[in-house]
Homo-oligomer: A and B are copies of this chain.
Amino acid sequence: MIKDKYTIKDIAQMAGVSKGTVDRVLHKRGKVSKSAFEKVDKILKEIDYRPNPIARNLKKNKTYSIHVLLPDPHKDPYWIPANEGVLEAANQFTPFGILIRKYFYDPTDKSSFLIQSEEAILSQPDVLLMAPIFESESQVILGKCCRTKIPVVLFNNHMNTFKEQIFIGQDLKQSGRVAASLMGKIIGENDEIAIIHINKEPHMQSKENGFVEFFKEKPDRNHIMVSKTFNSADKIGFNQEVSQFIKSHPRINAFFVTNSKAYMLVEAFESLEKKDGIIIGYDLLKPNIKYLEQGAIKFLIHQKLKRQAFLSVNYLAEHFLFGKPLPSQELLPIDIITTENAHYYL
């Protein structure tokens, strides 16, 4: 009897036992006599039995809840793609009994983060998916989840202290290196470089580290590099800061912006009537793409927030539904964007 799909019934028949016994052998539960075990085990070794995931899931008939905690996309457009990714995956998996609930918090307000996260874990979801942008506060939440046995999946950025969590995102340091390798290809041998942090968040330092490291490894490259942080809340203040900076560093003409706000630097340059300047930045925000097309930004690195969010939900859903193993960490490719390939990533 050679088939390409065996069922428990088939195995039972072949081993000369009932399907109940086969079930007991497969799941190592209940009492099975030595002889019966051997009969079934022999058959199992001969054939490649893989249970039908569809039937299994139908029987289980459980709805799984995924609670997603992320910054309100209305407050910061950076998070719009994350929301879209979650939505898309949710749409795909709700018919299968995957229940996704979103909790938005204000990315400028730590207390709102705490309130929303409390809410999110209150009803004991099967898993919490979150972007941990506030370090110490996220720590608190992770501790709570640990105690209440709610598994956590992180995306966008890492939490180094909790190694056991699952992470879906990019290697930030490596993305700094990618930026550096691009910069290295398009600037002159003696050009000076500025690393610009706009409204700096802790994880942005990794990008600078990678960027600097890349050039340190190249003995033939000795660019002067300056790291600068701009923290003005408003545009006028920001432009003033930029103006002062370029006055005090007249020879710098290459700029690496470590987050999605490269467009702000371009706009500051425009208002200062600064025409040259090679800029590399992050993310496919509308103004960034506009300046990429105009040539003011040379390259963008795509952090693929949408894909991060989508993949996270996707992995979890397929894990719950069909028992697929979860990766402990998935580092997404670091995509390089130029005018000509930008539209494929939108």
Contacts and interface: CB of A to CB of B under 8 A. Distances in A.
A335 interface: yes
B336 A336 contact: yes
A182 B341 CA distance: 11
A276 to B, nearest CB: 15
Interface in A49-96: 50-55, 57-58, 63, 94-96
A262 interface: no
A285 interface: no
A209 interface: no
| A interface residue count range (under 10 / 10 to 19 / 20 to 34 / 35 or more) | 35 or more
B336 A338 contact: yes
A281 to B, nearest CB: 15
Contacts of A339: 181
A333 B290 CA distance: 19
B345 A341 contact: no
Nearest to A321: B54
A344 interface: yes
A219 to B, nearest CB: 13
A51 B58 CA distance: 13
A287 to B, nearest CB: 20
A185 B334 contact: no
Contacts of A143: none
A336 B341 contact: yes
A5 B97 contact: yes
A96 B340 contact: no
B185 A51 contact: no
Contact of A53 (B96, B99, B185, B331): B96
Interface string A95-112: 111010000000000000
Given A52-B96, A52-B97, A55-B58, 19 more contacts: A4-B99, A50-B94, A50-B95, A52-B58, A52-B95, A53-B96, A54-B58, A58-B58, A174-B340, A178-B341, A181-B338, A181-B339, A182-B338, A185-B298, A331-B344, A333-B344, A334-B340, A335-B341, A336-B336
